[in-house]
Amino acid sequence: MDINGIKELDRRDAVRASSKKQQQRTVKILVYIFLIAGSCIMIVPFVWMVVTSFKPLDEINTYPPSFFIRKPTIAAYRELFSIIPMGRYFLNSLFATTVITAANIFFCSLAGYAFAKHRFFGRDKLFLLLVGSMMIPWQVNLIPSFVIVKKFGWLNSFYGLIIPAMSGAFGIFLMRQFIMNIPDDLIDAAKIDGCTEFTIYRRVILPLIQPALASLAIFTFMAQWNNFVWPLVIIYSSKMRTIPLALSVLNGQFGTNFAMVMAGAVVATAPVLVVFIAFQKYFIKGIALTGLKA
């Protein structure tokens, strides 16, 4: 091949490469447009919620609807906390959710450790039972759980809200999978040093599974904060309501006062949003790892 032939090939390569680059740039621009438009579609309902919550009543019913507020007011929030005890509902949710989350961290990691590292009679069968139970849809045990809680006299109380949710098959499973990866040598060394089993759990296992605990804590917090069906079924007095329950009642009773309902939605959404943004890393990793739906 003579020198001109090679030059010609080089030229063609360069042309092909530059057209490829051109094509890639076009694709990239399209990707940005798609993602930005998509993000707007995701965000607009929340923006509309916040805007509506700060509008005075006469601006809500003006035409055309506008994202601009002429006279911003916190009247809706004031109503929310005075007409209904929203502060109390907030504390109800916060208390129940916090206790449930703490209990899950403790009980799930404890059981997960036993399943991962102990040898005891019936271990594998019990674990199989636990994993199998995750296939059972919640509707199946909803009615009997309600009847049992009623028999215990826990209807309409924090006991009923909290105790049935203090541990869970999924949490135990998650903990076990993480603890399995801890080398046995560490545990054996602690045993030789004369540690009791509980000390090993507290001093060796717990510090090593902190990322997993963080994921479990966030999942549990989010799921419980947003839990609706269980409170709907067992809570009947107005002062024991949780936030989602209060919001659904608000929607029923003050459905036409959109500013107030939207203010309620803001109060319900803000805490999970804060938790999510603060712990986003653990959350997204946790989902990718486990496929758990919050």
Partner 1 sequence: MKPFAKEFNRQKWSYAFIGPSFILFTVFLIIPVFASLYWSFTQYNILQPPKFVGFQNYINIIFHDPRFWKAMINTAIYVACTVPASIAISLFIAVAIDQNIRFKNWFKTFFFIPSITSIIAVSVIWKWLYASGKYGLFNHALSSVGISPVNWLGVDWTLPSIIIMSVWGGLGYNMILFIAGLQGIPQVFYEAAEVDGASEWEKFRNITLPLLAPTMLFVTIMSIISAFQVFDAVYVMTYSSEGAVGGALDCALTIVAYLYDTGFQRFMMGYASALAYLIFLVLFVVTIVNMKLVEKKIEY
In the DSSP assignment, the letter for residue 164 is G
C-beta of 94: minimal distance to partner 1 in Å?
14
Q: Residue 154 corresponds to which tokens in the numbers above?
A: 């826990």
Residues 161-200 that bind partner 1 (CB under 8 A): 163-164, 166-167, 169, 172, 196-198
Nearest alpha carbon to residue 198 among 110, 70, 106: 110
Between 98 and 226, whose beta carbon lies closer to partner 1? Answer: 226
Nearest alpha carbon to residue 221 among 75, 71, 88, 97: 97
Nearest alpha carbon to residue 51 among 29, 70, 28: 70
Determine if 158 is a binding residue for partner 1 (CB under 8 A): no
Between 3 and 41, whose beta carbon lies closer to partner 1? Answer: 41
C-beta of 275: minimal distance to partner 1 in Å?
8
Binding residue for partner 1 (CB under 8 A) from 110, 216, 217, 235? 110
Binding residue for partner 1 (CB under 8 A) from 2, 3, 58, 121? 121
Residues 197-216 that bind partner 1 (CB under 8 A): 197-198, 201
Q: How far is CA 99 from CA 79, 208, 217, 243, in A?
A: 29, 23, 11, 16
Long-range contact pairs involving 128-137 (C-beta distance under 8 Å, separation at least 24): 130/169, 130/172, 130/173, 131/169, 131/173, 133/169, 134/169, 134/170, 134/173
Determine if 131 is a binding residue for partner 1 (CB under 8 A): no
Long-range contact pairs involving 137-143 (C-beta distance under 8 Å, separation at least 24): 138/229, 142/229, 142/230, 142/233
Binding residue for partner 1 (CB under 8 A) from 84, 162, 213, 250? 250
- Judged by CB under 8 A, how many residues of this single chain contact partner 1? 96
- Contact, 84 vs 263, CB < 8 A? no
Q: What is the DSSP string of 70-83?
A: SS---HHHHHHHHH
C-beta of 96: minimal distance to partner 1 in Å?
14
Binding residue for partner 1 (CB under 8 A) from 80, 217, 220, 264? 264
Binding residue for partner 1 (CB under 8 A) from 31, 57, 83, 128? 31
Determine if 15 is a binding residue for partner 1 (CB under 8 A): no
Q: How far is CA 190 from CA 56, 114, 199, 210, in A?
A: 65, 16, 9, 19
Residues 41-100 that bind partner 1 (CB under 8 A): 41-43, 45-46, 48-49, 52, 60-61, 63-65
Binding residue for partner 1 (CB under 8 A) from 18, 19, 82, 141? 141
Determine if 139 is a binding residue for partner 1 (CB under 8 A): yes
Stretch that binds partner 1, among 6-14, 74-82, 84-92, 257-265 (CB under 8 A): 257-265
